[in-house]
């Protein structure tokens, strides 16, 4: 993606949050995965998005290498939009998003349920370490980073405004709750740090070099969304993840994994997760809770 402006281009993590932390984009990908949607008019019908906004999101997916335009056989100048390998590689991130929405949002039951084709098990998968195969949660992983990398992630480059969230015609495509956590750079970084054990206002502020006003506002928003809860015990105020907030761990683990895949040319990406038990970098994968097999994209189905 070439930015004509002279601004520094955003860090890889920021680019991922900007691209995938968007509810219409997630809805577009969901329809492509679950119902093999590939045409503009189909996405319009299913999401109710205004055409100009859908065009912008599809262009962003093409520019970032997740989709390719293919001329339609009898379509004149019209195109199909097909997922590339990089687009297909978002599936474990998307599975994590849907699983979380299914469990934690009021319309959760409308999300498609994952079915493992080989054993027939229905329901959310477990996140495991690719090195030692053990189940990993936020308390088992440690975030390691160059201290400057998060500041760069938050501040660099132009960011797309998401204030004009398009209307969605179907409740199961809204993704409103998960976007509280990944819908903008600051919220995503604060949540990511909370998942790696940061609790105090001053720690968030020191790591992110964020203004107190912005930090207060994001913490209030994440608290209202029941992702964090305030605790006044002991040596001052702390912000602790709720169970709902801890459930976001696999979404963040796969966001980082996909970021590495999307930017192979960038040697240092900043934040990386280490699996504390085995000591290796966390290469997250999904395992079936029914038969313990590691799940591949082609061995799972989604049923409404
Ligand atoms: Zn491990
Ligand atoms: Zn299974």
pLDDT per residue as tens digits for the range 234-250: 777 899 999 999 999 99
Nearest ligand for residue 117 CA: 2
Residue 130 scores a pLDDT above 60: yes
Residue 4 scores a pLDDT above 70: no
Distance 102 CA to ligand 2 centre (A): 19
255's tokens: 């966001």
Distance 91 CA to ligand 2 centre (A): 17
pLDDT per residue as tens digits for the range 224-237: 999 999 988 777 78
What is the 3-state secondary structure of 240-304? Answer: EECHHHHCCHHHHHHHHHHHHHHCCCCCCCCCEEEECCCCCECCEEEECCCCCCECCHHHEEEEC
| Mean pLDDT, the chain, whole residue set | 87
Backbone dihedral region of 239: left (phi > 0), alpha (psi from -120 to 50 degrees) or beta? beta
Distance CA 21, CA 19 (A): 6
Residue 6 scores a pLDDT above 90: no
Distance 21 CA to ligand 1 centre (A): 27
Res. 272 pLDDT band, cuts 50 70 90: confident
Distance CA 254, CA 249 (A): 9
Residue 1: predicted pLDDT: 41
| Across 61-65, 202-206, 224-228, 285-289, least confident range | 202-206
Res. 11 pLDDT band, cuts 50 70 90: confident
pLDDT per residue as tens digits for the range 67-82: 999 998 876 778 999 9
Distance 242 CA to ligand 2 centre (A): 29
Tell me, rounded to whole angstroms, the distance of Cα 241 from its chain centroid: 18
Nearest ligand for residue 132 CA: 1
Nearest ligand for residue 277 CA: 1
pLDDT per residue as tens digits for the range 261-270: 999 877 666 7
10's tokens: 């955003």
Question: Is-above-0.85 flag for pTM?
Answer: yes
The CA R_g of the chain, rounded to the nearest whole Å, is 19
Q: What is the DSSP string of 56-119?
A: HHHHHHHHTTSEEEEE-TT-TT-EEEEE-HHHHTTHHHHHHHHHHHHHHSTTGGGSPEEEETTT
Class of domain 90-157+171-249: mainly alpha
């Amino acid at each position: 993606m070439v930015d004509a402006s002279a601004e520094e281009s955003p860090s890889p993590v920021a680019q991922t949050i900007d691209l995938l932390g968007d509810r219409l984009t997630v809805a577009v990908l969901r329809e492509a995965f679950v119902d093999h949607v590939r045409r503009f008019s189909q996405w319009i019908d299913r999401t109710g998005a205004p055409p100009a906004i859908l065009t912008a999101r599809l262009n962003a997916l093409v520019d970032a290498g997740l989709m390719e335009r293919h001329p339609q056989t009898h379509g004149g100048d019209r195109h199909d939009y097909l997922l590339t390998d990089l687009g297909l590689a978002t599936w474990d991130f998307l599975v994590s998003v849907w699983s979380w929405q299914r469990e934690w949002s009021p319309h959760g039951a409308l999300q498609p349920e994952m079915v493992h084709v080989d054993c027939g098990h229905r329901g959310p998968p477990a996140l495991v370490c690719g090195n030692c195969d053990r189940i990993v949660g936020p308390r088992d992983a440690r975030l390691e980073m160059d201290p400057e990398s998060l500041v760069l992630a938050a501040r660099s480059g132009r960011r797309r405004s998401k204030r004009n969230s398009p209307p969605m015609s179907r409740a199961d495509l809204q993704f409103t709750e998960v976007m509280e956590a990944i819908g903008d750079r600051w919220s995503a970084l604060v949540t990511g740090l909370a998942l790696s054990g940061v609790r105090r206002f001053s720690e968030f502020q020191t790591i992110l070099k964020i203004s107190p006003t912005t930090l207060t506002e994001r913490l209030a928003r994440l608290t209202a969304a029941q992702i964090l809860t305030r605790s006044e015990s002991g040596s001052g105020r702390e912000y602790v993840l709720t169970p709902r907030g801890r459930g976001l761990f696999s979404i963040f683990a796969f966001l980082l994994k996909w970021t590495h895949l999307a930017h192979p040319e960038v040697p240092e990406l900043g934040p990386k997760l280490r699996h504390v038990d085995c000591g290796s970098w966390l290469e997250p994968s999904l395992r079936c809770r029914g038969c313990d097999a590691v799940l591949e994209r082609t061995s799972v189905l989604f049923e409404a």
